[in-house]
Chain A
């Protein structure tokens, strides 16, 4: 498979994931805010800034992943977000007793271990995308 095809598949996969995750949260925004407020890790943050911040970053990532010029930046932002979500869930799952998941839709209904593995997989995909984007394209052979 050509490198560009893999990059396209990766960017679409991440875009679909972020569009779905952000939309699911936005559709139940009040519940999303309430879930953030209940998280022991986020309890002392201002969720009036945190909640729109998370949604904004997710939508921004989707936009960045759509253009060739910003694709690499989009992959890096995806890496950062997915890594944050994975570490957040992992920390809550392994070290805390109260673990509200703020994800909407089917993601929020996943058991925590499955959700962590799912996040980890997409984190690896995002890093792979970023690395593939940076790899110089082989110069076409000249006669």
Chain B
């Protein structure tokens, strides 16, 4: 009996020692992946710095122009790469209440689209004749989206009131009709677990939905009308990351953002990741993982230094240039190959 107690004590002590050593070595801020990153082949060379009046909350690049939306001032700014000048394009104060959930540009018509989930409307604005209109679909509550390339439809994320299912839909606002393209794993959370952001590449006519909390990026090929997935290298499965709150649900403090921002070109998706790989000094938000949008496979990564101690928060790609926003500063990098 005495021997048993001694052995049990040794086991208990050994287990406690291991856990204590693990606690000392732990790093709650670190999100590790199991795959070594490949840093060969591509790097970003800084070319220009663009300073906006306040933190840029959304960014688009079209035809040599960079558009930055500053939520703090509710203004859309335009930066011209040619003459390096920034001007104010719109003041959205009059028609945008709450937070802008995305904006889009049709470069052919020069039309701007501002998506507002508070009013469930998409505001249409044309700078030449200041025409203002809005699109509204009563039974459909969207939470972000982008305009389609080939039609006046929108590629949006919406949660169905009746079924509580969150889906990616193609919506024809003029006819009041929608087509479900992809339905997310369902949790009773009002679609919060499937939160993320949209981006697109005009040359390949592809749109992307990048989730914040898991690895499943949804790619919509408008030309082929097909949906496919790109799984980021952290391989985090979709999970319920909300907790009940007094009025519905809220994000759990235990949930971790994995994908912060992304940008795409004709063949690649650039994802700014919060995850670190083994044996590397990769502070969160400094590594961009590059995936092939054709095969869906991971290809390589590149690391960006912090800018004045701040990490990147937004990405945008235009030609061989990559725009990276660090709060109110946007750095323009030229992508180069070794």
Contacts and interface: CB of A to CB of B under 8 A. Distances in A.
A99 B25 contact: no
Q: Chain A contact residues (Cβ within 8 angstroms of B): what range?
A: 20 to 34
Contacts of B3: 134
B163 interface: no
B7 A40 contact: no
Interface stretch (A2-10, A11-19, A84-92): A84-92
Contacts, number: 85
A141 B116 CA distance: 87
B335 interface: no
Contacts of B177: none
B253 interface: yes
Contact of B15 (A80, A95, A99): A80
B34 A33 contact: yes
A37 interface: yes
Interface stretch (B42-50, B150-158, B179-187, B231-239): B231-239
Contact of B32 (A30, A38, A80, A87): A38
B238 to A, nearest CB: 13
A43 interface: yes
A110 interface: no
A80 B253 CA distance: 31
A37 B37 CA distance: 14
A86 B25 CA distance: 19
B254 A97 contact: yes
A71 interface: no
A84 B18 contact: yes
A23 interface: no
Nearest to A82: B15
Contact of A40 (B19, B27, B34, B236): B27
Interface in B76-117: none
Contacts of A84: 15, 18-19
B234 A34 contact: yes
Interface string B254-280: 101000000000000000000000100
- Counting chain B CB atoms within 10 Å of each CB, which of A42, A83, A134 scores highest? A83
B31 interface: yes
Interface string A19-31: 0000000000011
Given A97-B254, A130-B8, A34 B15 contact: no
Contacts of B237: 31
A44 B11 contact: no
Contacts of B22: 41-42, 45, 88, 91
Given A31-B237, A80-B11, A88-B19, A44 B27 contact: yes
Nearest to B28: A40
B131 interface: no
A48 to B, nearest CB: 8
Interface of B: 1, 3-4, 7-8, 11-12, 14-16, 18-19, 22-23, 25-28, 30-34, 234-237, 253-254, 256, 278
Given A46-B278, A96-B26, 6 more contacts: A34-B236, A38-B33, A76-B11, A96-B28, A97-B28, A131-B1
Shortest 8 CB-CB contacts between residues of A and residues of B: A37-B32, A40-B28, A83-B15, A41-B22, A37-B34, A44-B25, A87-B19, A33-B34
10 contacts: A30-B34, A34-B234, A34-B235, A37-B33, A42-B22, A44-B25, A91-B22, A98-B28, A98-B254, A98-B256
